Amino acid sequence: MRKFFAFRRYLRRCKGFFALGLLAGFFAALASGAGVPYFIKIVFAEVFESTDSQYSAMAIFLIAAQLPGVFLIRGASGYLNQYWMNYCGLRVLEGIRGDLFSKIQHLPLAYHDENKSGDLLSRILSDTTLLQFTLQESANDLFRQPMQVVFAFATLVFLSLQEKDAAIIVLICAGGPLAMIPVFFIGRRLKIRGLEMQEAQADMTQCLNENLEGATEIRTFNLQDQQISFFQALLGKLFRSQMKVVKYERLTQPLIEFLSSALVAFSFVYCYLEGVPFSTFMALGGVLYMTYDPLKRIFRVYGNIQKCQGAINRINDILHKMDSIQDPENPRPAPQGKSSIRFENVSFAYTEAPVLQEIEAEIPAGQVVALVGPSGAGKSTFAKLIPRLYEVTSGSIRINGTDIRNFLKWDLRDHIAIVSQHPVLFNDTLYNNIRLGRENASAEDVYRAAQNAFAHSFISELEKGYQTLAGERGDRLSGGQKQRIAIARAFLRNSPILILDEATSALDAQSEEEIQRALNSLVVGKTVIIIAHRFSTIRLADRIFVFEKGKLTAKGTHDELYTHSPLYAELYDKQL
């Protein structure tokens, strides 16, 4: 429960509307808890059981008009209560989702490696919706319904004082807490089943996400039936978990209704045997109803909170996750100008198995270094450690002699431009996709970067030119075109350190040659790291680092390595 109510901090941004909603709920509770019993006992009884002369038609009309007046107040205040509470609930949902998205943006890549994207989507969309609904209903009912119980119970006490024989009814209400025993048991079961339901929802979302991203591969390998069967199995798992939640969730209401009806029946027998007036009995019945109906809602809220515990834990797992890559308390000024890079006894492991072991390397400012080696040798990891996408396990990396852990991550990454092997384009215009490299760049800068990357010509041939949408994940462009947009983005950034992770892998021979010519001028004055799987991309390199099984086994020029490094010679000859 404490974890649930910790989210009340999101109500601060709409506390005015929340207060208005509570005020409206107060009047709705007053009209429900006291208004109806008041009419049954005081107004109706006074008219029908009065020994005085008959009332005039106008008097009866005025008396009768009070009843719709009470329900008008009840309905209007109830509406305003629900409207303002829904407003606050949606504000809460907005705040939670915003914080989750912001947190995910700042968590290191290692967190994304450990968690499936579909599961994260489910937490942001499904879990937050469940939490918002529960928080909204709870914030409303946990105030309004107890108030209605208080007013109804006060009316019950008042009637008991008026009719001494009816005092036993107060004791009848003591039976209410007995209903909490099965409710608490049901609540514990709901907590377990609710977590199972949210996990099943996450599995289904993950499957759907993978299916949409792999649409081409699924059709190429004729996997449609397999995927349908797998998705149907996940739907079945979700259905079973949902029905378990429904089983316990819907069990509360009949229990409360059975208890309340039993007490009303007991009251009926008692009132008849004791000769309690019918109007008093009806008022007492109305009070009991107005008491047990909100109790039923309160117990339902309790069940919803228990059902929501799984979603709360999954949300808190993100919100309270510590960033393993922390900014320094006293950061050093951001590196400026030409930058040298030095690895000092660096080791790294994603889990337990080491990926890089005791790496000693130095890249002077303005030098171009190519990284070669078999797949899985640690080349890409070597490059990803420089912008602190991952944190070294031991050792240190220095830029211009300063440990990169002494820089703010923002400043460090602003100092580095990266073109990955599989660039990501957002579903925005090509102009804006290039401009991501430097958001304050002018149009002339964007066009010049596109020209340097040999992207300007194909962009100009498009119907909308630079205003053409790239499509989801850049699907409206060919692989080579996406790569050139990404390269243009890096050129526009014009950072002192440039990392090219097989940046020309998707280009045809002519385009690759054009990029190589552009690189001849663009790498001047920059420290460049080229991760090379194709040896045609290392012609610009001043030196070559050879990686094998996480170790840096050789360094030198092509001629030196071809003579003294058997692994390099083997890789080079095989590719030729």
Average pLDDT over residues 228-254: 83
pLDDT on residue 537: 72
Are domains 2-319 and 341-575 of this chain identical in fold? no
Q: Which two tokens stand for residue 454?
A: 């040999």
3-class secondary-structure state, position 350 = coil
pLDDT over 90, % of the chain? 13
CA distance 450 to 489: 8
Q: What is the CATH number of domain 2-319?
A: 1.20.1560.10
Q: Which two tokens stand for residue 414?
A: 């602003």
90 has pLDDT over 60: yes
Single-letter code of the amino acid located at 357: Q
Beta strands 341-349 and 497-501, pairing class: unpaired
- Residue identified by tokens 């097989």 is 502
CA distance 453 to 516: 10
pLDDT on residue 169: 55
3-class secondary-structure state, position 349 = strand
CA distance 211 to 217: 9
Single-letter code of the amino acid located at 126: S
Q: Is the separation of the CB atoms in 167 and 174 below 8 Å?
A: no
pLDDT on residue 45: 62
pLDDT digits (tens, 9 = 90+) for 162-207: 665 545 555 555 555 565 666 677 777 777 887 888 788 888 888 8
Q: What is the CATH number of domain 341-575?
A: 3.40.50.300
pLDDT digits (tens, 9 = 90+) for 105-162: 888 888 877 777 777 888 888 888 888 777 777 766 766 777 777 777 777 677 666 6
Average pLDDT over residues 462-487: 84
pLDDT on residue 40: 64
38 has pLDDT over 70: no
Three-class SS of 387-425: CCCCCCCEEEEEECCEEHHHCCHHHHHHCEEEECCCCCC
Q: How far is residue 16 from each of residues 83, 96, 243, measured CA to CA in Å? A: 13, 19, 39
Model confidence pTM above 0.75? no
pLDDT digits (tens, 9 = 90+) for 525-534: 889 998 877 7
pLDDT band at 398 (very low <50, low <70, confident <90, very high): very high
Q: Is the separation of the CB atoms in 173 and 292 below 8 Å?
A: no
CA distance 364 to 343: 12
pLDDT on residue 230: 86
pLDDT digits (tens, 9 = 90+) for 348-390: 998 778 899 999 999 999 899 999 988 888 898 999 999 998 8
CA distance 199 to 310: 9
CA distance 10 to 24: 21
Largest CA distance in the chain: 124
Q: How wide is the angle at C-alpha 381 spanned by C-alphas 375 and 384, nearest 5°?
A: 140
pLDDT digits (tens, 9 = 90+) for 268-306: 777 777 777 776 677 666 666 666 667 777 777 777 777
pLDDT on residue 347: 93
Q: Which two tokens stand for residue 225?
A: 């039936």
CA distance 198 to 308: 9
pLDDT band at 573 (very low <50, low <70, confident <90, very high): confident
Backbone φ and ψ for 403, nearest 5 degrees, come out as -60, 130
Q: Give DSSP secondary structure letters for 286-329.
A: HHHHHHHHHHHHHHHHHHHHHHHHHHHHHHHHHHTPPPSSPPPS
- The residues spanned by each domain of the chain are 2-319, 341-575
- Residue identified by tokens 């994940």 is 473
User: Mean pLDDT score of the chain, rounded to an integer?
Assistant: 80
Q: Is the separation of the CB atoms in 487 and 514 below 8 Å?
A: no
pLDDT band at 507 (very low <50, low <70, confident <90, very high): low
CA distance 528 to 280: 91
175 vs 482: which has the higher pLDDT: 482
pLDDT on residue 361: 92
According to DSSP, residue 523 is labeled T
Average pLDDT over residues 501-529: 73
277 vs 435: which has the higher pLDDT: 435
pLDDT band at 69 (very low <50, low <70, confident <90, very high): confident
